[in-house]
């Protein structure tokens, strides 16, 4: 059974297969794909808020011909509010659906779910842990915008401690020959130390910095992130101290290369000034659209429909 739990699980070959398939879906005839998952049921089980991830997964499933069942506020509206464990809920939903897309507020939840689930689990964000499908669409966007992932220089900016998309994308980047990764964060939310150890082991060239402006002329990709307020609990003062430190505005764009791109997993809450939207290097809304195609490819990966198998199914008709 093929779960999607963390970015490290993918080989470079897997990643390339998924990126190529995503491109075929995006650029090819979408009608070719509309019956690939007919008869399957996908459950989206979300214990934390989401706009893009849930709706893009549901759209992806529907565009492949699958049906969808959904709990968008599982913390309040599912039996979790009565005290049911996640494991029991997974066993139950897994007896209805053919795959479960799970977002949960606890790090490690997707891994726990996978241990008891009778069907594939897709991690759509586990607390401050990982968000591998977002990272895959980020990677796809980098390839699309810059032409290649090998050789790029990227700067992650913002909340690198709690930003799960940053964790997953960093792991995925280790499968490529990136030139350099800069981690730019306030001291209080610096990049996770265990990930830095992993990067050293993989001989990835990286540097931690507090000042963004000096770095901007050197990078191909700026990956801006939101300070993850929900992870601060009652440390309101600390949150206020760190948020607002890095606001990407026109003055940043003026320092960036002509051929470069700004990405953000969204939602943004002030860390990218809307004046930047007009700049052609603002890639974050293209990134959103890419996400739907990448999630179509990921769903087919989970169900073991390779590119070849897919073609066969289409040609059979
Ligand atoms: C991210 C998430 O939920 O981790 N959003 C998303 O899925 N696109 C980033 C965030 O919430 O800041």
Residues 10-26: tens digit of each pLDDT: 999 999 999 999 999 99
CA dihedral 199, 201, 206, 209 (to 10 degrees): 80
Annotation marks residue 40 as catalytic: no
Instruction: Indicate which residue's Cα is closest to atom 7 of ligand 1.
Output: 53
The whole-number pLDDT of residue 191 equals 98
Cα 28 from chain centroid? 23
> Measured between alpha carbons, how far is 314 from 140 in angstroms, rounded to an integer?
25
Cβ of 197: how many Cβ atoms within 10 Å? Answer: 10
Cβ of 107: how many Cβ atoms within 10 Å? Answer: 15
- Sorted by sequence, the CB contacts under 8 Å of residue 59 that are 6+ apart come out as 292, 295
- Sorted by sequence, the CB contacts under 8 Å of residue 203 that are 6+ apart come out as none
CA dihedral 123, 124, 128, 129 (to 10 degrees): 30
76-96 CB burial, b ≥16 within 10 A, e <16 = eebebeeeeebeebbeebbee
CA distances from 302 to 45, 129, 245, 299 (A): 17, 21, 40, 5
Asked if 37 and 303 count as a contact pair (C-beta separation under 8 A), the reply is yes
The whole-number pLDDT of residue 76 equals 84
Instruction: Indicate which residue's Cα is closest to atom 1 of ligand 1.
Output: 265
Best mutation site among 101, 165, 228, 288 for ligand 1, i.e. most ligand atoms within 8 A of its Cβ? 165
Instruction: Indicate which residue's Cα is closest to atom 8 of ligand 1.
Output: 265
pLDDT, tens digit (0-9, with 9 covering 90-100), for 56-94: 999 999 999 999 999 988 888 788 888 899 999 999 999
Asked if 124 and 54 count as a contact pair (C-beta separation under 8 A), the reply is yes
- Sorted by sequence, the CB contacts under 8 Å of residue 166 that are 6+ apart come out as 156, 158, 159, 160, 191, 223, 225
Q: What is the CA radius of gyration of the chain?
A: 19
- Put simply, whether the predicted model's pTM sits higher than 0.75 gets the answer yes
Show the ligand 1 pocket: residues with CB < 6 angstroms.
52-53, 125, 131, 134, 164-165, 226, 265-266
> Measured between alpha carbons, how far is 56 from 294 in angstroms, rounded to an integer?
10
Asked if 63 and 296 count as a contact pair (C-beta separation under 8 A), the reply is yes
> Measured between alpha carbons, how far is 39 from 65 in angstroms, rounded to an integer?
8
**Count of CA atoms in the C-beta half-sphere (13 A) of 38:** 8
The whole-number pLDDT of residue 32 equals 84
The whole-number pLDDT of residue 314 equals 56
Annotation marks residue 193 as catalytic: no
Residues of the chain with pLDDT under 50: 317
Report CA(137)–ligand 1 centroid distance (Å). Answer: 12
The whole-number pLDDT of residue 9 equals 97
The whole-number pLDDT of residue 30 equals 73
Annotation marks residue 104 as catalytic: no
- Percent residues over pLDDT 70 in the chain: 96
The whole-number pLDDT of residue 263 equals 98
Apex 118 CA angle, 117 and 119, nearest 5: 90
Partnered with residue 282 across adjacent β-strands are 262
Annotation marks residue 103 as catalytic: yes
């Amino acid at each position: 059974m093929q779960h999607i739990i963390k970015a490290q699980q993918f080989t470079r070959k897997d990643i390339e297969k998924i990126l190529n398939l995503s491109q075929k879906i995006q650029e090819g005839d979408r009608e070719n794909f509309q019956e690939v998952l007919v008869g399957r049921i996908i459950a989206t089980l979300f214990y934390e808020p989401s706009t893009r991830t849930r709706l893009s997964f549901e759209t992806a499933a529907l565009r492949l011909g699958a049906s969808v069942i959904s709990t968008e506020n599982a913390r309040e509206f599912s039996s979790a509010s009565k005290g049911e464990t996640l494991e029991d809920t997974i066993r139950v939903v897994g007896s209805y659906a053919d795959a479960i897309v799970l977002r949960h507020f606890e790090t490690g939840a997707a891994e726990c779910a996978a241990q008891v689930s009778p069907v594939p689990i897709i991690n759509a964000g586990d607390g401050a842990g990982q968000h591998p499908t977002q990272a895959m669409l980020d990677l796809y966007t980098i390839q699309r915008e810059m032409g290649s992932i090998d050789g790029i220089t990227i700067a992650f900016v913002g909340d690198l401690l709690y930003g799960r998309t940053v964790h997953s994308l960093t792991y995925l980047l280790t499968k490529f020959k990136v030139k350099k990764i800069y981690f730019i964060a306030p001291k209080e939310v610096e990049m996770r130390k265990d990930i830095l150890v992993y990067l050293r082991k993989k001989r990835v060239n990286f540097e931690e910095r507090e000042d963004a402006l000096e770095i901007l002329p050197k990078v191909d990709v700026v990956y801006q992130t939101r300070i993850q307020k929900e992870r601060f609990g009652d440390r309101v003062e600390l949150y206020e101290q760190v948020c607002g430190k890095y606001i990407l505005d026109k003055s940043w764009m003026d320092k960036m290369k002509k051929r470069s791109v700004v990405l953000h997993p969204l939602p943004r809450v002030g860390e990218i000034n809307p004046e930047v939207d007009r700049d052609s290097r603002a890639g974050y809304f293209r990134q959103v659209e890419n996400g739907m195609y990448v999630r179509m490819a990921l769903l087919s990966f989970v169900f073991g429909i390779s590119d070849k198998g897919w073609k066969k199914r289409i040609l059979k008709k």
